[in-house]
Amino acid sequence: MTGGTAGQVAAALGFSIAVRIAYCKDAQVEGPGQSRSGVESAAMMPADTANTAGLDTSRLPENAYRPLGAGETYVPVVPPKAALAEATGRSVLWGLFLCIIFTLASAYSGLKVGQVMEASIPISILAIGLARVYKRRFTLLENVILTGIGGTSGAVVAGAVFTLPALYILNLDPHPVQTILICLAGGCLGVLFLIPLRRYFVREMHGQLPYPEATAITEVLVTGEKGGSQAKLLLQATGIALVYDFFLTTFQVWKEYVDLQFLPAVKSLGEKARMVTSFDAQVFILGLGYVMGLRSSMILVAGGLLSNFVLVPLIWMIGSHISDAAVYPGTIPIAQMTAVQIFRGYVRFIGVGAIATAGIFGIIKSLRVVAGSFSIALKAFRKGEGADVFERTDRDVPVVTILLGVVVATVAIAAFFSRLPGISVSTLAVGVGMTLVFSFFFASVAANAIATTARNPVSGMTMLTIIISSVVLLKFGVSGQTGMFFVMAIAGMVCTALSVSGQTITDLKTGYWLGSTPAAQERVKFLGVLASSLAAGIAIVILAQAFQFGEAIPGDVRTVLPAPQASIMKALVQGFMSQQPVAYLLFGVGAMVAVMMEMLKVPALTFALGMYLPLELNLPALVGGALAHYVDRRADKTGGESGRATRERGVIIASGFMAGGALGGMVGAALRLVPWYAEDKIKTPFFDNEPISQTVSIALFTAVCVYLWVVSTKKKA
């Protein structure tokens, strides 16, 4: 299915969003000696002319990670009155270059193994190296801009590869311009709808949300500034994690997943009660859990325990007596299902319902701050007092620019949908409305999820979008190929929007800690979205010509790229367009779980994410959270500067683990592009021996934990 004319018109309109917002400047009153607006001069001023006398950019304030006391304020590394170069030509160009490179690499890895490389942490490390190439080094805030632009790649690619290949699997053959527009429209909406939420998630919730990924990026950038022993410690931890996770996930050296199924008692429990789980021994997840902290990681695992050790066995006990018929939404009888199949076929839908309901609670909680921000911004616009309302470090792009961007995006999306055959005006309005509502709603969900666990429930929210969109469009008589294309286009835009929202909140939190100008970060983000959308759209079109997506078609000799998430989305939309029933009961059960968590004053979204994510990904995070708890207790007992150094070393090592794990995954994904690559190219003699291989995995993971504890708590850095 094509739509070249509409696609070109809509793409041009989408392009105008990026360019218009990227270069739109705040209307501000010029102060003495200013020839431009405060944001522009702060962002573009060369480092050697900036007001940086006595500025120490190598240490975070003491209250960076903890809640503020009564009357206490947070002053970032670069204070509001100081001015360092930010959105300079070289920081923007390097950011765009790395954004394109990581987008192309991530597109293939996402289609091949279902994993998109998280680019922000590796790019933050590259930024430190690039800073030393030039005679005038990059400033701390230039590195923030470079990292933010480059990191957009992973977010846009996730939205693209999780949805768009489904159109090719369904033989709908989208026009290349259509694939680019879906990414571009979704990415722009993700940034636009996140901006009003910034103050709530970044400033108002200071110290109450862990922001694991933003913490890692911040520590990398600050440690790069200070150098010395701290930089060596970061590099050491990064190197350990890089080597460890690279070999663990790329070759067959020792088992990544520890399930203890070689023990008779554990195996019997799995076979008779479907009580099964495993442990993903990645150092990356250990570092993630350390930054999350004990409470958040415990809540996350609690959700997983409910799913895997309560709901799965319960469904198995009831359904094991039904051996001759499948119970919808399952496709085979429950009596024939494994624990993993029960989790994916039933329990995950409960998790999706819980996540959606928790997201509603999050929006309700943020409404007051969001409304207040809009109110102040509108008053400032009417009175022409934009320069005096907010400090530099608390200044977003103007609210009128946001509204203009949403209007342009709406027109572009409407032009795109209007070219689909058989679409009435009412159906067009409903489709555009669902795209906007879902994108705004999920922006809050994504921001909360990333701020809490660094994991964005992209696939779950996209599944929910497909389900609701299919049900609504069927009511309007839209089905068949047109209906499937319509639904998947909505899902692609929404998926990209929520993915970009999550990545943007990470950038803005990093900028908040370090003292960036939010408006400068937000403007260049649109350039990153534009570059990544073009690269992702073109990459998918090229890969669709060279490979098959999903499953092999008889007679087609091309190599298959599994595209696992897109295959699931394809099956889902195909089922609904065939007018299969909706599992409302499962969604409702999840909604009630979220309500109970709110009644108990437990973070509902964290618990819901634990229900939805595989438990093996959450258990290592709990180990990291426990280590953080005991390291902090040792620091409290030691007290003074020594205690502060203990905490700092722990966070630096955990950040290094996250950075190294991300780099190891990136190198492993790149190797998969090489024709001669195979997992068994490096294989230990004991790999297939489960007792030995899993024991080695436990021993090595334990050794890494001991390293973190010993180095963090030693008396001298």
Tell me the two tokens of residue 240.
């350990």
- Measured CA to CA, the distance from residue 535 to residue 491 in angstroms comes to 20
- Measured CA to CA, the distance from residue 202 to residue 518 in angstroms comes to 11
Residue with tokens 């259509």: 178
**Closest Cα to residue 259, out of 506, 587, 615, 523?**
615
Most confident range, picked from 358-367, 471-480, 594-603: 594-603
- Does residue 496 sit within a domain? no
Residue with tokens 């026009």: 175
Helix or strand (DSSP H, E) at 695: helix 690-713
Q: How far is CA 412 from CA 10, 181, 408, 431, in A?
A: 4, 9, 6, 13
Tell me the two tokens of residue 419.
């070219």
Check pLDDT > 70 for residue 369.
no
Question: Out of 204-208, 404-408, 626-630, which region has the weakest mean confidence (pLDDT)?
Answer: 204-208
Mean per-residue pLDDT, 20-34: 36
For residue 581, how many C-alpha atoms fall within 13 Å in the half-sphere facing its CB?
A: 10
Which residues have CB under 8 Å from 247's CB, separation 6+? 253, 682
Q: What is the pLDDT of residue 41?
A: 37
Check pLDDT > 60 for residue 480.
yes
- Does residue 696 sit within a domain? yes
Burial 99-130 (b: 16+ CB within 10 A, else e): bbebbbbbbbbbbbbbebbbbbbbbbbbbbeb
Alpha helices in 419-457 (DSSP H): 425-453
Q: What is the pLDDT of residue 494?
A: 92
Q: What is the pLDDT of residue 655?
A: 76
Check pLDDT > 60 for residue 50.
no
**Closest Cα to residue 230, out of 216, 243, 240, 220?**
220
Mean per-residue pLDDT, 95-106: 84
Q: What is the pLDDT of residue 342?
A: 92
- Does residue 16 sit within a domain? no
Dump pLDDT digits (tens) for 654-702: 878 877 886 777 677 667 767 888 888 999 999 999 999 999 999 999 9
- Does residue 52 sit within a domain? no
Check pLDDT > 80 for residue 9.
no
Is the separation of the CB atoms in 344 and 571 below 8 Å? no
Most confident range, picked from 82-86, 139-143, 381-385, 609-613: 139-143
- Does residue 99 sit within a domain? no
Burial 390-401 (b: 16+ CB within 10 A, else e): bebbbbbbbbeb
SS3 280: strand
SS3 548: strand
Is the separation of the CB atoms in 486 and 576 below 8 Å? no
> Which residue type occupies 33?
G
Q: What is the pLDDT of residue 716?
A: 62
Q: How would residue 406 be classed by pLDDT, with cut points 50, 70 and 90?
A: very high
**Closest Cα to residue 563, out of 167, 113, 150?**
113
- Does residue 386 sit within a domain? no
Q: What is the pLDDT of residue 83?
A: 78
Classify burial at 477, counting beta carbons within 10 Å of its beta carbon; exposed 0-12, middle 13-18, buried 19 or more: exposed
- Measured CA to CA, the distance from residue 508 to residue 420 in angstroms comes to 37
Considering the entire predicted model, what is its pTM?
A: 0.72
Q: What is the pLDDT of residue 575?
A: 72
Question: Out of 51-60, 500-509, 630-639, 701-710, which region has the weakest mean confidence (pLDDT)?
Answer: 51-60
Is the separation of the CB atoms in 189 and 499 below 8 Å? no
Mean per-residue pLDDT, 584-606: 89
Verify cis geometry, omega within 30 degrees of 0, for the bond prior to 196: no
Residue with tokens 């429990």: 269
Which residue segment(s) compose the domain that 246 sits in?
Answer: 241-304+313-323+611-713
Q: What is the pLDDT of residue 24?
A: 42
Alpha helices in 195-263 (DSSP H): 198, 212-226, 228-250
SS3 560: strand
Is the separation of the CB atoms in 6 and 418 below 8 Å? yes
Check pLDDT > 80 for residue 274.
yes
Q: Strands 279-280 and 257-258, how do they pair?
A: antiparallel
Check pLDDT > 80 for residue 507.
yes
Q: What is the pLDDT of residue 559?
A: 64
Q: What is the pLDDT of residue 552?
A: 67
**Closest Cα to residue 297, out of 628, 646, 710?**
628
Q: What is the pLDDT of residue 527?
A: 94
Q: What is the pLDDT of residue 432?
A: 93
Dump pLDDT digits (tens) for 53-92: 567 777 888 888 888 888 888 988 888 888 788 889 989 9
Q: Is the dihedral of CA 648, 653, 656, 662 positive or negative?
A: negative
Tell me the two tokens of residue 207.
């110290």
Classify burial at 582, counting beta carbons within 10 Å of its beta carbon; exposed 0-12, middle 13-18, buried 19 or more: middle
Dump pLDDT digits (tens) for 606-620: 898 788 878 888 899
Whole-angstrom Cα Rg for the chain: 25
User: Percent of the chain having pLDDT more than 70?
Assistant: 83
Between CA 603 and CA 611, with CA 608 as vertex, the angle to 5 degrees is 135
Question: Phi and psi of 560, rounded to 5°?
Answer: -95, 130
Helix or strand (DSSP H, E) at 356: helix 348-383
- Does residue 396 sit within a domain? no
Mean per-residue pLDDT, 316-333: 84
- Does residue 412 sit within a domain? no
**Closest Cα to residue 178, out of 501, 547, 490, 480?**
490
Going by the DSSP 8-state scheme, the letter that residue 552 receives in this structure is: P
Going by the DSSP 8-state scheme, the letter that residue 581 receives in this structure is: P
Q: What is the pLDDT of residue 144?
A: 92
Going by the DSSP 8-state scheme, the letter that residue 553 receives in this structure is: P
SS3 479: coil
Overall number of domains in the chain = 1
Q: How would residue 113 be classed by pLDDT, with cut points 50, 70 and 90?
A: low
Q: What is the pLDDT of residue 302?
A: 95
- Measured CA to CA, the distance from residue 536 to residue 363 in angstroms comes to 30
Higher pLDDT, 130 or 433: 433
Helix or strand (DSSP H, E) at 289: helix 283-292
Which residues have CB under 8 Å from 446's CB, separation 6+? 190, 456, 457, 458, 461, 498, 499, 501, 502, 505
SS3 426: helix
